[in-house]
């Protein structure tokens, strides 16, 4: 297993570990993002089993003990499995997440008390600023949230737009089509009446780069991609409601 490093925006490094055995034949990437700042932040911890290669990659960019913040989208093994391994090698680091994640899981799971971020709260990292946004159940998990780095305009999307393959670190081509194809295969997203609206709402941040946990990041036309992905989920909700109507009749109550 090897972790590749690419700078996808100024001081935003993508650490990518490709696993060909997942979703063959295309395979699947697991990406972490290191934000270089006075208080460096790592977004996604990775699996526990990936920690040796991922931490070696981060150590090529900065001494691990300089890490100040650790965050991620939601509570799953690829997002936060190695959380306590990072905390062990970075004694100045603290996990930061939303109120739901901390109260439901992280107050118990994290070896050090996490910092609770309010919806919309901005943390000044010194040279970079991250805004935390609650996105409950988007893409999945009650505790789900997203970070937006305001200086570079980088939206740390987590599992949104997940797609298979080991493409370039960053592309300026369509990522919505591949994301829909992967979603139709994995069915990993929570489908709620507000899924589409929540995703489209992120376009109001006017991000310049979408940093994806699984797949190539996007540079340019990021707002359009968010709107189109949100529309796709609305269509799926309508499709599902139509199927329910067909099966049970309209307004069964």
Contact 69, 96 (CB under 8 A): yes
Q: Provide, rounded to whole angstroms, the least separation between the CB of residue 75 and Fe ion.
A: 9
Q: Provide, rounded to whole angstroms, the least separation between the CB of residue 208 and Fe ion.
A: 22
Contacting residues for 178 by C-beta, under 8 A, at least 6 apart: 163, 164, 165, 215
What gap in Å lies between CA 97 and CA 99, rounded to an integer?
7
With binding defined as CB under 5 A, does residue 134 bind Fe ion? no
What gap in Å lies between CA 100 and CA 18, rounded to an integer?
31
**Helix, strand, coil distribution of the chain in percent, nearest 5:** 35, 25, 40
Q: Considering Cα of 104, then 110, then 113, then 119, what sign does the dihedral take?
A: negative
Q: Which is nearer to Fe ion, 37 or 83 (CB)?
A: 83
Q: Provide, rounded to whole angstroms, the least separation between the CB of residue 47 and Fe ion.
A: 10
Q: Which is nearer to Fe ion, 76 or 119 (CB)?
A: 76
Tell me the two tokens of residue 79. Answer: 């997002």
Site for Fe ion, residues 182 to 201, rule: CB under 5 A: none
54, 130, 213, 229: which one binds Fe ion (CB under 5 A): 213
Question: How many Cβ atoms sit within 10 Å of the Cβ of residue 149?
Answer: 25
Contacting residues for 201 by C-beta, under 8 A, at least 6 apart: none
With binding defined as CB under 5 A, does residue 78 bind Fe ion? yes
Q: Which is nearer to Fe ion, 84 or 190 (CB)?
A: 190
Q: Which is nearer to Fe ion, 173 or 188 (CB)?
A: 188
With binding defined as CB under 5 A, does residue 143 bind Fe ion? no
Q: Which is nearer to Fe ion, 160 or 170 (CB)?
A: 160
**Which residue is closest to Fe ion by CB?**
159
Cα distances (Å, whole numbers) of residue 125 to 39, 131, 168: 5, 11, 28
In total, the chain counts a number of residues equal to 253
Q: Which is nearer to Fe ion, 156 or 213 (CB)?
A: 213
Q: Provide, rounded to whole angstroms, the least separation between the CB of residue 236 and Fe ion.
A: 18
Q: Provide, rounded to whole angstroms, the least separation between the CB of residue 141 and Fe ion.
A: 7
With binding defined as CB under 5 A, does residue 76 bind Fe ion? yes
Please count the residues of this chain forming the interface with Fe ion, following the rule CB under 5 A. 4
Q: Which residues bind Fe ion (CB under 5 A)?
A: 76, 78, 159, 213
């Amino acid at each position: 297993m090897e972790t590749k490093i690419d700078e996808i925006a100024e001081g935003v490094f993508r650490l990518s570990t490709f696993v060909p055995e997942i979703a063959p034949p295309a395979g699947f990437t697991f990406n972490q993002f290191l934000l270089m700042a006075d208080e460096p932040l790592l977004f996604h911890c990775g699996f526990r089993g990936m920690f040796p290669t991922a931490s070696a990659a981060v150590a090529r960019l900065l001494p691990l003990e300089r890490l100040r913040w650790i965050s991620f989208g939601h509570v799953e093994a690829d997002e936060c499995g190695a959380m306590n391994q990072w905390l062990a090698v970075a004694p100045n680091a603290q996990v930061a997440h939303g109120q739901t994640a901390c109260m439901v899981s992280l107050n118990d799971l994290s070896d050090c008390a996490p910092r609770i971020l309010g919806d919309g709260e901005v943390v000044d990292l010194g040279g970079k600023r991250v805004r935390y946004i609650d996105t409950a159940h988007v893409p999945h998990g009650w505790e789900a949230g997203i970070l937006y780095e305001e200086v570079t305009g980088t939206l740390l999307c987590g599992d949104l737009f997940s797609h298979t393959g080991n493409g370039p670190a960053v592309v300026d081509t369509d990522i919505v089509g591949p994301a829909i194809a992967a979603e139709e295969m994995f069915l990993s997203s929570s489908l709620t009446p507000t899924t589409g609206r929540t995703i489209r709402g992120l376009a109001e941040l006017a991000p310049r780069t979408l940093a994806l946990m699984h797949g190539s990041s996007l540079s340019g036309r990021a707002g359009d991609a968010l709107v189109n992905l949100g529309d796709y989920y609305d269509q799926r909700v309508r499709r599902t409601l139509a199927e329910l109507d067909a099966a049970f009749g309209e307004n069964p109550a």
